[in-house]
Structure 1
């Protein structure tokens, strides 16, 4: 039996859909307070009859930080796709280490105890190394804590260390490091928030850029890796390296909105981030922008997916098509 953690999120929702094309039943974990909007929206993207597929999911109530509930939920499981995470693009984030590190440690420990046959962990390019001179970042680029690395990046890197510890103890595991993931979601968070902002109209852009990937490519690659004999390996999943302006322009075109035309430099966005941080501390909220996000938004990092291409012969979807499909769905729904 296959288990998916983080099943109500962007990656988890799309993963469930693709797994259900191969299997009759999938076990998925959700918290008692989980919002099911994303998974309903995701299934509507693929089919006009989402309920026919949703009823095939065996839901188990658990929390990756609640060892007892997790222990019950993982009983009888052969394969685990560990997608549960707190995603925070900035320097803040509620319970980041609790979920991303401690939660991953719990899942790994129980996977070893239950002798799970194979394990896939969804990490991030944030946990990869940093390029200072525009060189391609690959799986071997060393991770270094620096002013460019956010608490989110540090948490994903630490979570990967929990996977490697499990591998040393005999766990057959795969780590995937997706780029900025784009796809249909019912939530207004992380990269999905950008679609909603552009749909309302956006005038500003930054000169930075990063590696982007279609969520469908992420989950397809995960399934192919889990169905292969490959284990104890790490794979970057990036479809294209794009500038922020390029991404925003494609979104604006998809929503029939004017393209952003005001360039925001690093100095200004860092100052805005600084005052947002102060405001967040005073009024006790997580700001949408902080200094680390300002730096990230103006950096251009390049990532290589050559390893996954060589291992599986995998070909990624064009990012422009992915964005066009998401925009079309959002306009129709």
Structure 2
């Protein structure tokens, strides 16, 4: 089987490449000249030079594929237009090319995000039937990408995977949490109890490949998460036990978080760059419940997560230590 992965040089995409290679797929990776290929080094992948709008290169490659895994996406940008181009227009372009050159493709799989649906507000967990209510430009662009994929359901065999927070080796997002904790500080946003769904990266790619290969996934969307959601006190307890050290817990008021976000966004904007902690990110991290149900993928496809929060954190921490990213 031949598979094209966009975003293969990134965190999730590189783990997906590993999984497909393990299953003896011929793996093709879309790569820009500026891409860092360190996670794919010395692995039996084939590179397709170009970006998500390199139509000639994409057409030639996709025409020979059995699967297209669209993992690439932009999570940090200055404007809504930047998010829309990277996350929506790129998806639209890939779908148009795929329909034109390979309408018999076994599966086109979009890796989206819980952000495309939004946080749980009037329910404990959102599910695949929840009405989308994204709260950020990033989430809106992911919702539009999902809608575009579904609009092709009568012409292509499509599937959407929408994970919540993903963690594991190679990730640099949750790394900041562990680095801060190792310095003796456990920062928690707000004074209310916030919950989030999580998934270890190896479980996520297991779910992605399962959905790709299962006939039942055609024209479906699936959340891929652990069975339960966790609050930050529970996450802190697991972290403390694994690192075998304590950290001073400090709660940051929402007002302070937004103030820092405004200042950071303004300062980085002076240099024409996107801030990591901007106002939209502040909206994101101050929500009460970023939680989703995994009932559908379990019942329809037989998915079961292999990693608990503790076992996933253990592998992640061990890898960070091996890489000397934390001490």
Identify whether the pair has TM-score above 0.5, normalized to the shorter chain: yes
Asked if 1:101 is matched to 2:88, the reply is yes
Comparing 158-167 with 293-302, greater Cα deviation is found at 293-302
Q: Alpha-carbon deviations, 1:218-253, whole Å to 9, x = none?
A: 111111111111200000111131223433453454
In structure 2, the residue matched to 1:17 is 18
Structure 1 residue 193: Cα displacement: 4.2
1:250–1:324 Cα contact (<8 Å) kept: no
Structure 1 residue 277: Cα displacement: 2.4
Structure 1 pair 293/253, CA: closer, same or farther in 2 (3 Å)? Answer: farther
Structure 1 residue 18: Cα displacement: 1.0
1:273–1:289 Cα contact (<8 Å) kept: yes
In structure 1, the residue matched to 2:238 is 250
Q: Secondary structure at the match of 1:176?
A: strand
User: Which residues in structure 2 correspond to 1:1-333 (within 5 Å)?
Assistant: 1-23=2-24, 25-40=26-41, 51=42, 54=43, 56-88=44-76, 95-113=82-100, 114-115=102-103, 116-145=105-134, 149-168=135-154, 170-185=155-170, 188=172, 190-206=173-189, 207-230=193-216, 231-239=218-226, 240-301=228-289, 302-316=291-305, 317-333=307-323
Structure 1 residue 196: Cα displacement: 4.2
What's the TM-score once normalised by structure 1's chain length?
Answer: 0.86
In the alignment, the residues of structure 2 paired with residue 8 and residue 318 of structure 1 have an alpha-carbon distance, to the nearest angstrom, of 26
Comparing 300-309 with 118-127, greater Cα deviation is found at 300-309
What's the TM-score once normalised by structure 2's chain length?
Answer: 0.87
Structure 1 residue 138: Cα displacement: 0.6
2:163–2:223 Cα contact (<8 Å) kept: yes
Q: Alpha-carbon deviations, 1:47-97, whole Å to 9, x = none?
A: xxxx3xx0x211111211222232233231121111111123x87689322
Structure 1 residue ranges without an equivalent (≥5): 41-50
Structure 1 residue 318: Cα displacement: 0.7
In the alignment, the residues of structure 1 paired with residue 84 and residue 184 of structure 2 have an alpha-carbon distance, to the nearest angstrom, of 34
Structure 1 pair 3/109, CA: closer, same or farther in 2 (3 Å)? Answer: same
In the alignment, the residues of structure 1 paired with residue 165 and residue 52 of structure 2 have an alpha-carbon distance, to the nearest angstrom, of 24
Alignment root-mean-square deviation, CA: 2.3
Equivalent residues, number: 313
Kindly report structure 1 stretches of 4+ aligned residues shifted beyond 4 Å. Answer: 90-94
In the alignment, the residues of structure 2 paired with residue 284 and residue 256 of structure 1 have an alpha-carbon distance, to the nearest angstrom, of 41
Q: Alpha-carbon deviations, 1:84-139, whole Å to 9, x = none?
A: 11123x87689322221111111111111222221111000001144324532111
In the alignment, the residues of structure 2 paired with residue 264 and residue 229 of structure 1 have an alpha-carbon distance, to the nearest angstrom, of 47
Structure 1 residue 200: Cα displacement: 4.8
Structure 1 residue 268: Cα displacement: 1.9
Structure 1 pair 249/278, CA: closer, same or farther in 2 (3 Å)? Answer: farther
Structure 1 pair 80/199, CA: closer, same or farther in 2 (3 Å)? Answer: farther
In structure 2, the residue matched to 1:46 is none
Comparing 229-238 with 271-280, greater Cα deviation is found at 271-280
Structure 1 residue 300: Cα displacement: 2.2
